[in-house]
Structure 1
């Protein structure tokens, strides 16, 4: 086998086939290939309707994606080595979204001064992804506020700690409860203390976001804007835990921040989907009750990280708190009339954890984004050595077999329903038998009626779980295109439900 062919197979996720019998491709099994269809990014802006995302045709969009956040100066994915080769590989595995990190410190190095070169670098990455049918959620990432506290996020000029020292310094995430300087800086940010020029920190932050939204308003493939990653309530954190999630005035401060940013973003980009996050004790099952900001399109962006997995890299004891977190998300999304997105989970090689969380996501029909695409020398994560799917992307050239954690890929790159011409009612995956099942009705998620007969839905079937090919069974519809990339288009036969089953070749 040539080196070039090895790279092609690596991109398709079929490393195990090297030296084996020829691959039976999905295209070889397809019936009559009669129709193609634009990708998600070619169909126009995403929108939000109740707890669903919808693509430009109004189809329900369920994503399977990854996070790519580079936490070292200059804070760009490009600086971390992420480029066209990585985007090609993601598309080949069926991933269709990236939560892309931006750092306030990099956007606004001086008060009111924006680094346009930094923004252009992010825009370049967004375009690379969009060209491959991958949407981008821009995420203002923060962990422990600033490098002064062993974290990243805010510019140095936005750190107001009132002279309280940065002690104790014991790393992520424990600094959030022990470092008194960090707690004071969080408190002042949430309280909107005046910074340089007598301008409140939140006003500066909202203006920064408005500038970013203006820069990305006309870019294809924007999934939305994630206001603030894993906000922390500062010195109020004990109240949040002791009260089971009721953070008192600290919640009012966070809701006010979300509203200011939402107003700035939607002034520049009225159709933007505003993603708001709860205080991060949410991740362990505490409902910290975030409120959606006033905007046309909103989404609850939330995470799940079980404590025992973080401490012991084990899923034992996690089923109950993780199940509670999913239930909390559904309740908040319904109450706030927002879409729901599991925008972070994982940071582990533990199979039980990955299968447990993705299984809950399918059960609840929630899109997800795995943390993280790579280890990338991450200074603020629970498991830097095990969090990545691929090794260091700074290695030039296509993603090769030896750079991929194949076991993790087989869990994350299972088949999934990407876009349903209607409302999803079931998504399941049996990893033992490698059998996937998805069903949907013709009812539009925006409540405006039903999709007509012949409407096209899209699934993706990555090859990593089907080295000898797969077979499709469709009830209530028929396959109109089945591509070697694993992209499967199914047209409905009428206005009844459609069910698709994917299984290995007999």
Structure 2
């Protein structure tokens, strides 16, 4: 018979206390957090954000519905100052994550699940500011807010045009600004996936990414075909991709050199997740075959695989401490087949990489196929790809919408597949190429924090969720219901380290009940502010529910 093991959390403490502070949620053993005003602010915001229909640019609510919430807020701040309910802010120290089999793992061998957002600033100055209007910023307050929501990672955009404005010359000032954002995120406990971002090749075509000197369109006239992503059908855009893949004038080699400079700069950073090599690669659709919708295998053989075969070894030489994250063609966002490593193409030679994939419903690519079907197919293709290529999956884009049903479907599918995700995106940041622009809400529909600095509480209510961030064991399956705020987890536990559950305090203002069934429980659970720690062995079932 299974005997339930139940721990009850309350705003100031858990019923059961462990005698020593355990391994922190970022990996290696962490010292017990000291009381601080930062912790108090983190807890205050995490307790109240879901209750606010709108919030100001600090993320704090403009008004609360119930006096009871004020009581909890005051109590949480008091507990933080007393050191009893301090939010654990992980250190930037520690070994980088690595890929083992089809999982990201930490230094203790635990599977790591990431929830986070994209922070991609496409127009000049190509990185978010630390000061100025809230819509352009990414600063320490943003980092604290993301952590309070239960997020642990960002995908940070890099623009080739800014990194290498002249052929072969790295802009050191831009690189320093990039590193400043990386360090800011690291200090706050966020992992950073560096993303060399492009859409529709370059600004010449209304897009972003490549410098003008690397935009070789052979003089083909360009006229915009409409909103994103229609300009991918322009031959001038396609020809720019072709000349890049073919390394005409050495532009692909210089792209590799720009990436290598970034890799050398972040070598050994414990919370840099890796390198997202090239956002949504496309090809010249007028060269059909092999470029097509979807592309034929020869399009990968001729263009995309030679890029990766040059780029991944160069990055490993520059920085052997972080994995590369490869992407398949743009059309796979809608569930078209992923071809890398699949016959007749050669076996993928780069074990230990991440599959960075996106999920978007795209009628243009798969007309007549309903969105839920496209989303299911996209996840199925990703699961098959990581098995054959010995890679770890990470959903690095989805959303770009205020439609809660879409967000719920995709986030639930990621949970069902045991996969982490990074929502597109945190703020709009003047995005000139977003599919959100053609729907309700315009371009700003993609954001969680709108252009006036207000938090979209309903969207956050779907995306801020309880989940297992570190799993000490195997065969994990979990689900989360954002309506009931219940998390269910089953896994075969290993006694070597704690399993860490992220429980955003906003979801559980009256505390959370954590019920553990089965297994051999060697130690007690210690529930601290925003986290539950479970150490057990054998088959275990966990249920988390609000008090």
TM-score (norm 2): 0.80
Equivalent runs, 1:49-448 vs 2, <5 Å: 49-78=100-129, 80-177=136-233, 179-194=234-249, 200-235=250-285, 239=289, 244-291=294-341, 294-295=349-350, 297-307=352-362, 317-383=370-436, 384-392=443-451, 403-442=454-493
C-alpha displacement at 1:317, in angstroms? 2.1
CA contact (8 A) 2:45 2:148 kept: no
Shift in CA distance, 12/190, structure 1 to aligned 2, threshold 3 Å: farther
C-alpha displacement at 1:479, in angstroms? 5.1
Q: How many residues align?
A: 470
Describe the SS at the equivalent of 2:67.
coil
Describe the SS at the equivalent of 1:385.
helix
CA contact (8 A) 1:48 1:339 kept: yes
Write the deviation string for residues 363-409 of structure 1: whole angstroms up to 9, x where unpaired.
Answer: 1101110000011221110111211111248x6xxxxxxx1111111
Shift in CA distance, 304/171, structure 1 to aligned 2, threshold 3 Å: same
- Whole-angstrom distance in 2 between the partners of 1:135 and 1:106: 23
C-alpha displacement at 1:171, in angstroms? 3.1
Describe the SS at the equivalent of 2:220.
coil
C-alpha displacement at 1:57, in angstroms? 1.4
Match of 1:448 in 2: none
Describe the SS at the equivalent of 1:94.
coil
C-alpha displacement at 1:220, in angstroms? 2.5
Shift in CA distance, 416/241, structure 1 to aligned 2, threshold 3 Å: farther
Deviates more, 1:292-301 or 1:106-115: 292-301
C-alpha displacement at 1:9, in angstroms? 3.3
- Whole-angstrom distance in 2 between the partners of 1:26 and 1:85: 18
Shift in CA distance, 192/288, structure 1 to aligned 2, threshold 3 Å: farther
Match of 1:496 in 2: 538
C-alpha displacement at 1:412, in angstroms? 0.7
CA contact (8 A) 1:262 1:293 kept: no
Shift in CA distance, 309/405, structure 1 to aligned 2, threshold 3 Å: farther
- Whole-angstrom distance in 1 between the partners of 2:248 and 2:271: 35
C-alpha displacement at 1:43, in angstroms? 3.4
C-alpha displacement at 1:320, in angstroms? 1.3
CA contact (8 A) 1:251 1:290 kept: no
Task: Supply the RMSD in Å over aligned alpha carbons.
Answer: 3.0
Match of 2:72 in 1: 23
Describe the SS at the equivalent of 2:201.
coil
CA contact (8 A) 1:150 1:172 kept: no
C-alpha displacement at 1:241, in angstroms? 8.4
- Whole-angstrom distance in 1 between the partners of 2:407 and 2:353: 27
TM-score (norm 1): 0.86
- Whole-angstrom distance in 2 between the partners of 1:301 and 1:435: 28
Match of 1:398 in 2: none
Match of 1:480 in 2: 525
Unaligned runs of 5+ in 2: 1-38, 53-63, 131-135, 342-346, 437-442
Shift in CA distance, 127/243, structure 1 to aligned 2, threshold 3 Å: closer
C-alpha displacement at 1:5, in angstroms? 9.0
CA contact (8 A) 2:150 2:464 kept: yes
Match of 1:197 in 2: none
C-alpha displacement at 1:141, in angstroms? 0.3
Shift in CA distance, 99/6, structure 1 to aligned 2, threshold 3 Å: closer
Describe the SS at the equivalent of 1:411.
helix
Write the deviation string for residues 292-345 of structure 1: whole angstroms up to 9, x where unpaired.
Answer: 864452011000101259999xx9921211111111001010000111111000
C-alpha displacement at 1:72, in angstroms? 1.1
CA contact (8 A) 2:42 2:145 kept: no
CA contact (8 A) 1:42 1:133 kept: no
Shift in CA distance, 235/118, structure 1 to aligned 2, threshold 3 Å: same
CA contact (8 A) 2:351 2:391 kept: no
